Amino acid sequence: MMMSHFKKVALTALALCMIGAPVHAAEGHKYPLPDMDWSFEGPFGTYDKAALQRGFLVYKQVCSACHGMKKLYYRHLEALGYSEAQIKTIAAEYTVMDGPNDEGEMFERPARPSDKFKLPYANDKAAMYANGGALPPDMSLIVKAREGGADYVYGVLVGYTNPPEGVVLGNNQHYNKFKSGNIIAMANPLNDGQVTYEDGTPQTADQYAKDVTHFLAWAAEPEMEQRKQMGVKVLIFLAVFAMIMYAVKRKIWEDVH
């Protein structure tokens, strides 16, 4: 893949001065993560807007029951290709608390694009109480907050299997090949046909997992497209500048060599 090749080149350039990367050894069995071909990988990677919209749908209809996304505002959905009117409609599906008003009272109103995503629980305690003591982590940064990134999140969503011989699961525990440590308190959230897609994309659990991961990758790095596009320009500039400077240097040093 582009990214990994690119990475290798740059890392080799630094090989002499870099010291070993931090290493994780989780208990449990470590299965190699699926190596997915994400459109957002590599120096020219971009998000697929259709996948983002489908992923948002999955998040909205499935994951948002348990997982909040504290860092997102409804207005951010513009990046997925929604129009202003569509975003208004999406936001208006939720009721948020506002106030105090002129009489000093808190009041409820439909959410607006300038509001934050509505959270499923009032606080962590409530979230844990509702999930048998486990805290469903906030999803805003999940792709950046796990070793393996998008491959890991996708892996967790498709990694549910029966536990191997000898592994005894407790109450509210599930076996997952890719979760670090293999034991996860989240039941398999995705099933075939659960979310209706309007664009004819197959409605399988695997496709849902891909799409929602795509959406979560965007949520973690909304600046990624701008960053990479700028990076290509910066590197081209630096390469040309370096060549010119090298030529000038040769010229200046000509008489002493």
Partner 1 sequence: MGSNSDRKPFNNKTIEWIDQRLPIFTMLDKEYGKFPTPRNFNYFWNFGAIAMFMLVTMIVTGITLAMHYTPHANYAFDSVERIMRDVNFGWLIRYIHMNGASFFFIAVYIHIFRGMYYGSFKQPRELLWILGVTIFLLMMATAFMGYVLPWGQMSFWGATVITNLFSAVPIVGPGIVEWMWGGFAVDNATLNRFFSLHFVLPFVIAAVVFLHVWALHVTGSNNPTGLDVKGPQDTLPFNPYYTIKDLFGLIVFVAVYAMFIFFMPNALGHPDNYIPANPLVTPPHIVPEWYFLTFYAILRSIFFDFNPIMLAGFGGIGYYVAKVVWDKNRTDYFSTRNLIILGVSGFLTLVGFVGAFFPQLHIPLTNMVIIEAKLGGVLAMFGAVGLLFVLPWCDTHPVRSARYRPLYKAALLFFVAIVLLLGYVGAMPAEGIWPWIGLAATGYYMAFFLVILPILSKHEKALPLPASIAQAVLDEQAAKAAKLAKKGA
Contact 161, 177 (CB under 8 A): yes
CB of 257 vs partner 1, minimal distance in Å = 7
Amino acid (1-letter code) at residue 30: K
d(CA 238, CA 230): 12
- C-alpha distances out from residue 70 to 64, 121, 175, Å: 11, 11, 28
Contact residues: partner 1, CB under 8 A: 3, 6-7, 10-11, 13-14, 17-26, 43, 70-71, 76, 137, 140-141, 144-147, 149, 220, 222-223, 227-228, 230-232, 234-235, 238-239, 241-242, 245-246, 248-249, 252-253, 256-257
- C-alpha distances out from residue 14 to 7, 9, 209, 241, Å: 11, 9, 35, 21
Output phi, psi for 220, to 5 deg. -75, -35
Site membership for ligand HEC, residue 54 (CB under 6 A): no
Site membership for ligand HEC, residue 184 (CB under 6 A): yes
d(CA 68, CA 215): 14
Smaller CB separation from partner 1, 174 or 228: 228
Which of ligand HEC, partner 1, none interacts with 1 (beta carbon under 5 to 8 A by kind)? none
d(CA 134, CA 125): 10
Question: What is the 3-class SS of 61-101, one letter each residue?
Answer: HCHHHCCCCCCCEHHHHHHHCCCHHHHHHHHHCCEEEECCC
Give the one residue of 51, 91, 212, 219 binding ligand HEC; rule: CB under 6 A.
212
Which of partner 1, ligand HEC, none interacts with 185 (beta carbon under 5 to 8 A by kind)? ligand HEC
- Which residues between 157 and 176 bind ligand HEC (CB under 6 A)? 157
d(CA 18, CA 12): 9
Which of partner 1, ligand HEC, none interacts with 153 (beta carbon under 5 to 8 A by kind)? ligand HEC
Q: Which residues contact 78 (CB under 8 A, 6 or more apart)?
A: 84, 87
Annotate each residue in 66-105 with x if it binds ligand HEC (CB under 6 A) or - if it does not, as one string.
xx--------------------------------------
Which of partner 1, ligand HEC, none interacts with 63 (beta carbon under 5 to 8 A by kind)? ligand HEC
What letter does residue 8 receive in the DSSP assignment?
H
Give the one residue of 51, 57, 58, 219 binding ligand HEC; rule: CB under 6 A.
58
Which of ligand HEC, partner 1, none interacts with 7 (beta carbon under 5 to 8 A by kind)? partner 1
Site membership for ligand HEC, residue 62 (CB under 6 A): yes
Residue ranges in contact with ligand HEC by CB under 6 A: 58, 62-63, 65-67, 131, 134, 136-137, 142, 146, 153, 156-157, 179, 184-186, 189-190, 212
